[in-house]
Every structure is written in structure tokens, then in C-alpha cells.
Chain A
Amino acid sequence: MTTTTFALRDTSTMLRREFRRTLRYPVGPSVTVGLPIVFLLLFVYVLGDTLGAGLAGPGAGRDDYLDYLVPGMLVLTIASATSVTPVTVAIDRTAGIMDRFRTMAIARSSVLAGHVLANVAQAMVGMAVLVGIALLLGFSPTATPVEWLVTAGLLALATFALIWFAVALGLVADSVETASNLAMPLVLLPFLGSGFVPTESLPTGLRWFAEYQPFTPIIETVRGLLLGTAIGWQGVVAVAWCLVITVASWRWARHLFHRDPT
């Protein structure tokens, strides 16, 4: 077998391991899938009427807000997945099994790749479930099949980028608790962007942050693709953010993985 087939085989072994672990201890999927659904219901039914009217003027209401909210919720799903990943990585690291893998003649990339792919898959499932529920509640996107595909691609890219970042956080943490704390702020980011209300409505300092943080262009691009709002440069900015985060996090994670155990 060549090096590549070895790497693929080891990665699929690691991926199967992750899936099996997830089924045994399904805290990850419950957060990734559950949290955005809870927020969706909460925002639409508790605040939807008021926020909808505030957004689109009198006469508008819950349904308009649901449409506005879904893109932010999709990104919140990514953020939730990102908050789970560091914990699973830190568990592997502190439990010693990662060190065992490191002493074995396996494709080293497979150890982290297994974590990344499993968590990306989990987040994508979470997003599919979320869209399903939103459609049941009356979400009415205008997207063509191609736009749906592009949306899925962009969300997958964003997930991939942020999960790599999360893996690095899990490796840099010295304990499972630290890993969990490090990841917490990520869940807040969509709230401090254009996920729930337009950035123009935010106070100046926060607005500045909201406009320049990576989640906002991703949310705006998804919103444009699904609902036909203006995208402008946001799409390019979103993709650029994803690529930068992927490369930087991947390098950081790799460096941390190869460093001495502490």
C-alpha cells in the first residue's frame, strides 16, 4: 500500500472510532443539534413578533423574523460544534490514548483528521436538522438548487475552518476543563454579529466588532443565498476568512500535536 492509502485507511479507522464514541456518549450531538433548535424556538416564539415588526416594519411579524433568523442559527450550529470539539480532543490527549497513537506507525495526520471530519459531519447533520425544523415552522427561502448547494458548500467550508481552530484549542488546553472554557466564547460570536439583529442596530463599539468578525460575512452570505438579500463583497470576505482560519488553525494544531507531551 502507498502512503496515501495508508493515510486514508487510518483516517477512516479514526473516523469510525469517533462515530462510535459519539454514539456511546452523545453529549456532542445534543449540544450541536439541540442548542440551535432551542434558540430557534425561543427567539421565534418569544421574541419573534416584536423583532419581526422591528425589522421589517408594522405588519411584519414572526414569519419574517424566522426567515431573518435561520442563517444566524445555521452559523450558531457551527459555533456549538466548535465548542464541543476541544473537549473531545482534550479527553483523548489527557487520557493518554493520543500519546499511544503517537508512538504507533500510523499516518499521524489521521489522528487529527478523524476528529475534524467527525465533528464536521456532526455539524452538517445538525444544520440539516435545523433547516428541516425551520421549514416546518414556516421558513420560506427563495434559493434555487444551485444556491442551496453553494450555501451547503460555504457552510461546510466554514465548519471545516472553525473545527480546525477548535482542535487546536483542544490541544493547547492543559485539561478537559480548560478546553471546555476556551471554547465557550465561540458560541457567543453569532450573537455579537448579524445573526439575530442587523448590525446597524447595535451600539457603535459592538457594531464595529460585529461588522469585522468572521461570522457576520458568513451569515450575510448565507442570508443572501437563501433569501435573496444583497451579498456584495460579503461572499468573498466570508471565503477569505474561512481559508485564513483553516490554514492558520491547521498549522497551529499540527504544531501542537507534534510538540512534546506535557
Chain B
Amino acid sequence: MRDLRAATTDPTTTPGRVAPAIEVTGLRRSYGDLLVLDGVDLTVTPGTVFALLGPNGAGKTTVVNILTTLVDAHGGTVRVAGHDVATEPDLVRRSIGVTGQFSAIDDLFTGAENLRLMADLHHLDRLEGSRRVSELLERFDLVDAADRPATTYSGGMRRRLDLAMTLVGDPQVIFLDEPTTGLDPRSRRTMWEAVTELVDDGTTVFLTTQYLEEADRLADRVAVLDRGTIVADGTVDELKRRVPGGHVRLQFPSTVQLDTAAATWRDDGRVVGRDDRSLTLQVPGDGSPDSLRALLDRIDRDRLDVEHLSVHRPDLDDVFLALTGRGTDHDAADPEGATGTGRADPDHATAPEAVR
């Protein structure tokens, strides 16, 4: 039930054709007594976007840190761009670009100076360096801000500069750890466009995200990481197929009614999700007239006070729910940002809706 890989038929992973851009087998890592990664396997085909999806604390950043030579693995093998990260870290570094979860820019420098620093460290000569810097400023809409110190940049601008810095060296494989967390919809779209352009140019992109919409939009393949293991791996469509039918979301006028409904329906295991804040219950239902009629009859029979009802086709959220027994549930897992920054998350509440 939990392993999708056996059922995977995606031709891009057929072995023997192209050497994978990223190949991870049996990856393990702990911090002290905490086993963070417990046997992770991943394969990413060159020129594709791979999204690693998971809630806070799932181990996404740990995976990225190991793949980018920042952190040692405690077990398993990791090859990136054909090189083993443990034995040939320098060759790996030569092929990758990394945009970490938190911005890694020099605040005392202007945007242009930050890019220039990267150009110098990539040993581009003066002319080539300047060309690359102005090209990237242009591409990431930073021309006007180029000569302002990075401290004056907005969150979106910092993120764009961060990605631009990652691209100075023209890397084959790019890692983006939650590239759009905390961005407004417009900045988010700019990031998405940038990722799409990169892939069109043949770059491989490995990104982590908590947003299902993002994975849906960008990724050729998705893996769901939960408590240190990959609980599902496949194309977005394959994952969606895992969840037959969809669900119906019922909204109640108050907690009392919500409790009553939950109690009535829990017995036959029909509740698949509950959100106390929005006073909603999710129950299975594919949206067919028959299933809806049955549902309405039941609401009448049990005298439940349903204020609002909406039908949802399966999306990655349902997949997540089915695979982990929990929703992605950013809010519960991340009160004011468990990441410590308390980043605003303007449209996470709507992100899953947009998939439908």
C-alpha cells in the first residue's frame, strides 16, 4: 500500500539509458539519538524537476544538506552528477548550485556585488563576470536594485538574488530548499518561471516544498518524505491515482456540531480529516450524484447541521493524508514557524485549493 515505486512505469527512470543526476540509496542520518533519515532511496533523471515533499521536520533540509556535501551521511550511498558525495565532494561541488532554506547572501554587499563575488569565486574573468552579472540581474528583475545594499531588499528580492547567485556558475544540478516559502504569489510565480526556464535549458532541479501546488506545477516526479522515509514516489498523476475518488468537505456552524458529526461518523471510519479552526470534516466521496445523495440522506438522518458542503477531486493533499494518516497540516506542525523565523505564509491556506 505504501510503496509506489513497484507500480511506477515512468519511462524516464528506465535504467541503462541515462545516468541519473542524483542517485540515493539507503541514506541514513541521525542527530544524536534522533534518527532523522531512515533509509531514503531516490533517483532523479537529468533535466527534470524532482520535488521532495514533506511537513516540517520531515528531514527535507537534512537530505539537501547531505546531497550538497554540507553534512555527512551515516549510511547509504549518495551520488550527485555522477560523483560520490563522500569520496569526491569537490567534483560534486563543481556540478551543483545550492539555494538553501534561508538566504545566504552578504547583507553588507549590494545585489551586484554579491553576484560579482560569486563570479570571482567561479574564476570567471572580468568581462565574462560582468556579462553574467548583468544578465542575471536582468533575468531576476533586480536591475533597479542592483546597487542597493541587500539589507534593503524585500523577502522576495532576497530570494531572487539568492537564486541568481546560485546560477552564476551555470550548475548542472540545482538544489532549492523551500524556494517559495514566505513569498507572495507574484514572487512565487517568478521563482516558478525561473525553475521552468532552467529545466528547459537542461538543468536538473531538486526542490523541497511543503506546497502541494508547487510540486504539482513544477515537478516531473514527487517523493513524499515522512518521518525519515519515503512513503511515496512517482509522478504527480501516479500519486493522485493512489487515492480513489475524492472527498467531500463539510463545514459546521460550531465546534459542538463538528464534534457531534465527528462522533457519529468516526464509528464507521468515514472521517478522513478534521480541521477545528475552519470547523470542517472531510469524508470520502467521489462527487458522483449517487454518492452525494447518499451523503445528504445520511446528514438528514443523523440530523447534522451542515452549513456548507464542497466536493474535492483528489489532490496531493489527499495523497498525503492517505499515505501518512495526517494532512500536511502546516499550521499544527509550524506554530509561528518551527523554523524559527516566523515567516509569513500568505497563501498557504489557498494553495491546496488552487490545485483543484
Q: Do A and B bind each other?
A: yes
Binding site for B on A (CB under 8 A): 1, 6, 9-10, 13, 17, 20-21, 24-25, 95-97, 99-106, 260-261
Partner of A17, one of B100, B117, B165: B117
What residues on B are CB-neighbors of A101 within 8 Å? 121
15 of the cross-chain contacts (CB-CB < 8 Å) are A10-B121, A20-B113, A21-B106, A21-B109, A95-B105, A96-B105, A97-B104, A102-B70, A103-B69, A103-B70, A103-B93, A104-B169, A260-B65, A260-B71, A260-B72
Partner of B70, one of A20, A24, A261: A261
Is B139 an interface residue, CB under 8 A from the partner? no
Complex contact B98–A20 (CB within 8 A): no
Binding site for A on B (CB under 8 A): 65, 68-72, 90, 93-94, 96, 98, 100, 102-109, 113, 117, 120-123, 149, 165, 169
Q: Which residue of B lies closest to A262 (CB)?
A: B31
Consensus secondary structure, chain B interface: loop
State A26–B64 Cα separation when bound (angstroms).
36
Q: Which residue of B lies closest to A94 (CB)?
A: B102
What residues on B are CB-neighbors of A103 within 8 Å? 68-70, 93, 96, 98
State A10–B120 Cα separation when bound (angstroms).
8
Complex contact B105–A13 (CB within 8 A): no
Complex contact A105–B94 (CB within 8 A): yes
Consensus secondary structure, chain A interface: helix
What residues on B are CB-neighbors of A1 within 8 Å? 123
Partner of B103, one of A17, A21, A25, A96: A96
State A209–B105 Cα separation when bound (angstroms).
44
Complex contact B121–A106 (CB within 8 A): yes
Complex contact B108–A100 (CB within 8 A): no
Q: Which residue of A lies closest to B72 (CB)?
A: A260
State A104–B168 Cα separation when bound (angstroms).
11
State A106–B124 Cα separation when bound (angstroms).
13
Given A6-B123, A103-B68, A103-B69: 5 more A-B contacts, CB < 8 Å: A20-B113, A95-B104, A96-B104, A104-B169, A260-B65
What residues on A are CB-neighbors of B117 within 8 Å? 13, 17
What residues on B are CB-neighbors of A96 within 8 Å? 100, 102-105
State A104–B70 Cα separation when bound (angstroms).
10
What residues on B are CB-neighbors of A20 within 8 Å? 108-109, 113
| Number of cross-chain contacts by CB at 8 Å | 63
Complex contact B71–A100 (CB within 8 A): no
State A118–B93 Cα separation when bound (angstroms).
26
What residues on B are CB-neighbors of A104 within 8 Å? 93, 121-122, 169
State A40–B123 Cα separation when bound (angstroms).
45
Complex contact A24–B108 (CB within 8 A): yes
Q: Which residue of B lies closest to A23 (CB)?
A: B108
State A104–B93 Cα separation when bound (angstroms).
5
What residues on A are CB-neighbors of B65 within 8 Å? 260-261
Minimum CB–CB distance for B115 against chain A, Å:
13
What residues on A are CB-neighbors of B165 within 8 Å? 100
**A95, A97, A104, most chain B CB atoms within 10 A:** A104
Complex contact A100–B104 (CB within 8 A): yes
State A209–B93 Cα separation when bound (angstroms).
48
Minimum CB–CB distance for B209 against chain A, Å:
19
What residues on B are CB-neighbors of A17 within 8 Å? 106, 109, 117
What residues on B are CB-neighbors of A105 within 8 Å? 90, 93-94
State A24–B102 Cα separation when bound (angstroms).
23
State A13–B124 Cα separation when bound (angstroms).
12
State A103–B174 Cα separation when bound (angstroms).
11
State A96–B114 Cα separation when bound (angstroms).
13
State A101–B93 Cα separation when bound (angstroms).
10
State A31–B169 Cα separation when bound (angstroms).
37
What residues on A are CB-neighbors of B103 within 8 Å? 96
Complex contact A99–B104 (CB within 8 A): yes
Complex contact A99–B106 (CB within 8 A): no
Q: Which residue of B lies closest to A22 (CB)?
A: B108
Minimum CB–CB distance for B134 against chain A, Å:
19
Decide yes or no: A21 and B108 within 8 Å by CB, A100-B165, A105-B90, A105-B93 being known contacts: yes
Minimum CB–CB distance for A207 against chain B, Å:
44
Complex contact B106–A261 (CB within 8 A): no
Q: Which residue of B lies closest to A260 (CB)?
A: B71
Q: Which residue of A lies closest to B93 (CB)?
A: A105
State A9–B117 Cα separation when bound (angstroms).
12
What residues on A are CB-neighbors of B106 within 8 Å? 17, 21, 95, 97
Minimum CB–CB distance for A15 against chain B, Å:
11
Q: Which residue of A lies closest to B90 (CB)?
A: A105
What residues on A are CB-neighbors of B108 within 8 Å? 20-21, 24-25
State A9–B65 Cα separation when bound (angstroms).
27
State A102–B169 Cα separation when bound (angstroms).
14
State A255–B37 Cα separation when bound (angstroms).
24
Q: Which residue of A lies closest to B67 (CB)?
A: A103
Minimum CB–CB distance for A35 against chain B, Å:
22
State A10–B104 Cα separation when bound (angstroms).
18
What residues on B are CB-neighbors of A95 within 8 Å? 104-107
Partner of A102, one of B69, B102, B107: B69
Complex contact A9–B123 (CB within 8 A): yes
What residues on A are CB-neighbors of B109 within 8 Å? 17, 20-21, 24
